[in-house]
Structure 1
Amino acid sequence: MNPLIKKLADLSEKKSRLIIGLMSGTSLDGLDIALCKISGSGQSTTVQLIEFVTAPYSEEIRKQLKRISSVENVKLKEVTYWHAKLAHLHSEMILAALRNWKITPEKVDCIASHGQTIYHYPARDQQELMDPVNSTLQIGDGDHMAVKTGILTISDFRQKHVAHGGEGAPMAGLVDQILFVHETETRILLNIGGIGNFTYLPAKNQPKEKTFTTDTGPGNTLIDSLMMHYYNKPYDEDGNVAFSGDLNEGLLRELLNDDWFEEEKSKTTGPEFFNIPWLKEKMEKAGINQDELDPKDIIRTASELSARTIVKSIQQQKITSETAVIYVSGGGAHNPYLMQRIRELMPANEVKNISEIGLSPDAKEAVLFAVLANEMLAGKGFGMEIEDESKFVNFGKISFPD
């Protein structure tokens, strides 16, 4: 047997695997590194988060990545360079984390690398094209990472999702059903990253209800972009700016009037769509002069937009009941303004931090990809019924270090 195939076969037979899950989001703030011990597969999967750290990007790295992320025109040589360079940078961050945790690379079975999304382009946004096709692009080459770390690496998860008929996002629903379905508690797992998304998980004693997952629209992406634009700060710490501003009802009405929010089926989006130019266009339609608005009022209104569209997306599905508990993860879980408004807009539902069911809100997405890698290595074609999505057998591309 080919020794590489034998290595995969041996990995698939292990009772548990040590897997590093990686996530770098649209905020471009750094790399989340989650060291997970994962046992079993499919519905029998159990996860223990051994270590977690966020390795920050330098200001220069953020600047360079921002130049090629979520923009229509970019130099191809820059994308090519950063596809390899980012893999090297992530590898160095992984090796540094392992040294700090006093764990040798040889003990790690696999790296699950999400990569850095630089453009998300679902078919719904391709009206100008004759033959629309769901498309998404992540950089951070898995082959470079495997060789540099000496650890088998699985990458390109979103490409597999697209190939099977999905839009490349959100990916959370697949793992949420594996890890978080409860016997009697109906759950909504809400992640507020750059983009908001949620998974609806009916309790096992409600077999007639279906799991559902979708993006909700902007989470932190508009807020963070406006904070950087007006205050040269990466995010609104503790929601202080939003709390200090006044809501502009006219602008909010125009923002909420976008057709994207009206479509009820599962959908995805990104900062390619929800960004400052989109906001400026809405201001013009509302007859608002941007220069006459206090930046605090703009950020308050953008924050309110995130809260209201999250709630609207959940309520559109007619799945919310007093028994549904909402568990929140992602950077938005640390924004008191967003959390307060979601609670106020959904008074019948308990809103809790996902840490209350045993997972760090900051680590969730990195853990998500570790579990997908585990399914690739040990699963038996586990899939789930999600509206408008296919069942999958495997996830991602395998890169060997040898």
Structure 2
Amino acid sequence: MNTQLAHLCRLAQQPSRRIVGLMSGTSLDGLDVALCRFTGTGPATQVVVEQFATVPYSADTRQRIQQVFARQQVNLQHLTLLHAWLGNLHGELVLQCLQRWQVPPEEVDLIASHGQTVFHAPRHQHQLLKWPNATLQLGDADHLAVRTGILTISDFRQKHVAAGGEGAPLAVYGDYLLFSQPGEDRLLLNLGGIANFTYLPGSLDATAVFSTDTGPANTLLDAIVRQHYPGRSYDEHGALAAQGTVQQELLSELLKHPFFQASLPKTTGPELFSLAYLQAAQERSHTQHLAPIHVLATLVALSAEGIARAVRQQLGPEPSLPIYISGGGLHNPVLLAAIQARLPHCQLCSTAELGFLPDAKEAVLFATLANETLAGEARIIGAGSQAVPAVSLGKISLPG
């Protein structure tokens, strides 16, 4: 047998595995790197986060990604080169983190790399009925594996699409395995560029688990800040939005988009919730000349309303359960207050109360997917047309 395949088999049979989970979201702020120790698989999974860091992207890196990010037309040579370049960059950032943590690369069993999403195209969004759901993440895992010398599992979203899903949200797999609690119904809400939630029943019934995107969380807020406030990439603590007033005419136009009327589950991305979407709504509502602080206040209301509508649509008009929040939006008290006002009977909490750093959660979840791909079993989560396909996610890249 090929020695690397033999090594792969040994890893799958080990009682525990050390996995580096990588995540870079649509905010383009940097690479989340989580060093995790996994014991067991499936519902018996136990994970300890040994180290975590967010390595900020340089302005040059963000600029390179933005040339292809959520764009209908791109330079094909730049796209091709960026795929390899990001793989090498992520590998270098992993090695830098391991050196800082004094962990030799040979003591890491594998890397779980989400990659950098640059375009998400579910059929309901592209409206081309003869074409399938599709999604694209950059950061070639072969380059990452060779650069680090560590077995790498990547491209988790493609199998989900191939099996009939939309490629998102995938957090449901890890949420169910890591955060389910007997006797307590829970909602796990991620406030990244796009907001998504996973409902976890206290019965632990996998067929009752549910996950969906709800609309924008931070993507439009960050875009407005970058456009109007040079040197800033986001509205820290919601301070700018707090100075503004929600403009109801604009909010009403924003909420008329068919996405908010579509049935659950659904997925979306910054391809839809872009500055062009905002500009069109401002033109229809004659609010083109609003001060940026009022636009930001209105976009906070949009994010909160999208979340609340989806939660009520799934759980009834007056849901009452704890909501454990992760992602950058957790640090925006204006957004949290807007969500709380619309879901008054829910208790907003941080995933820190579950023993997980909120900023590390997504990187840990993709490490969980890699652990399942290597040593677990495919399982159906959800029921009927809302079921998550029973597939092993991820492609395996050998380091040599």
TM-score, L = length of structure 1? 0.96
Could you say what secondary structure the match of 2:311 adopts? helix
Question: What secondary structure, in the 3-state scheme, does the structure 2 residue paired with 1:381 have?
Answer: coil
Residue 314 of structure 1 pairs with residue 311 of structure 2: yes
The 5 Å alignment of 1:261-276 reads 261-276=260-275
Match of 2:340 in 1: 343
CA RMSD in angstroms comes to 1.4
Displacement after TM superposition at 1:81 (Å): 0.4
Offset, 1:320: 7.0
Q: Give the whole-Å Cα distance in 1 for the aligned partners of 2:256 and 2:37.
A: 45
Per the alignment, residue 280 of structure 2 pairs with 281
Partner of 2:222: 224
- Count matched residues: 398
Give CA deviations for 1:300-321 in whole Å, capped at 9, x if unaligned: 1011111111111111113576
Give the 5 Å matches for 1:137-216.
137-204=136-203, 207=205, 210-216=208-214
Separation in 2, partners of 1:265, 1:247: 27
Give 2:26's aligned residue.
26
Aligned residue type for 2:180 = V
Q: Give the aligned residue type for 1:230.
A: H
Greater shift, 317-326 or 230-239, is seen at: 317-326
CA distance in 1, matches of 2:94, 2:136: 22
Task: Say if 1:208 and 1:333 are closer, same or farther in 2 by CA, change over 3 A.
Answer: closer
CA distance in 1, matches of 2:98, 2:290: 48
Distance in 1 of aligned mates of 2:206 and 2:93: 45
Q: 3-state DSSP class of the match of 1:246?
A: coil
Indicate the residue corresponding to 1:48 in structure 2: 48
For 1:179, the aligned partner's letter is L
- The SS at the match of 1:74 is coil
Q: CA–CA distance in 1 between the matches of 2:210 and 2:96? A: 38
Please identify, of 379-388 and 21-30, the stretch whose mean Cα deviation from structure 2 is larger. 379-388
Equivalent residue, structure 2, for 1:388: 386
Partner AA of 1:202 in structure 2 = P
- Is 2:85 the partner of 1:88? no
> 1:384: Cα distance to partner?
1.7
Judge conservation of contact 2:141–2:152 (CA < 8 Å) in 1: yes
Rounded to whole Å, the distance in 1 between the matches of 2:79 and 2:311 is 36
Flag the 1:319–1:48 CA change in 2: closer, same or farther, 3 A. farther
Q: How does 1:323-402 map to 2 (within 5 A)?
A: 323-385=320-382, 387-402=385-400
Percent identity among equivalent residues?
Answer: 47
2:120 — aligned with what?
120
* Conservation of the 8 A alpha-carbon contact between 2:207 and 2:380: no
Deviation of 1:367 after TM superposition, in Å, equals 0.4
Aligned partner of residue 147 in structure 2, secondary structure:
helix
The question of whether the paired residues in 1 share the 8 Å contact of 2:206 and 2:381 is answered with: no
Contact between 2:189 and 2:196, CA under 8 Å: does it hold in 1? yes
Q: Contact (CA 8 Å) 2:144, 2:152: kept in 1 or not? A: yes
Matching residue's letter, 1:398: I
Indicate if the aligned counterparts of 1:185 and 1:323 stay in contact, CA closer than 8 A. no
Conserved? CA contact 1:165–1:389, under 8 Å: no
Question: 1:209: Cα distance to partner?
Answer: 7.3
2:185 maps to a residue whose letter is T
Q: Determine helix, strand or coil for the equivalent of 1:213.
A: strand
Q: Secondary structure at 2:246's aligned position in 1?
A: coil
Matched, 1:245 2:244: yes
Cα distance 1:130–1:347, how it changes in 2: closer, same or farther (>3 A)? closer
Per the TM alignment, residue 63 of structure 1 is displaced from its structure 2 partner at its CA by 1.0
Paired with 1:176 and 1:320, the residues of 2 have a C-alpha distance of 24
TM normalised by structure 2 equals: 0.97
Q: List, as ranges, runs of 4+ consecutive aligned residues in structure 1 with deviation greater than 2 Å.
A: 318-323, 380-383, 385-393
Q: Deviations over 1:75-98 (max 9, x none)?
A: 000000000000111111000000
How far is 1:208 from its partner?
A: 9.8
Deviation at 1:391, TM superposition (A): 2.8
- Partner of 1:98: helix, strand, or coil? helix
C-alpha contact (below 8 Å) 1:217/1:309 kept by paired residues: yes
Q: Secondary structure at the match of 1:8?
A: helix
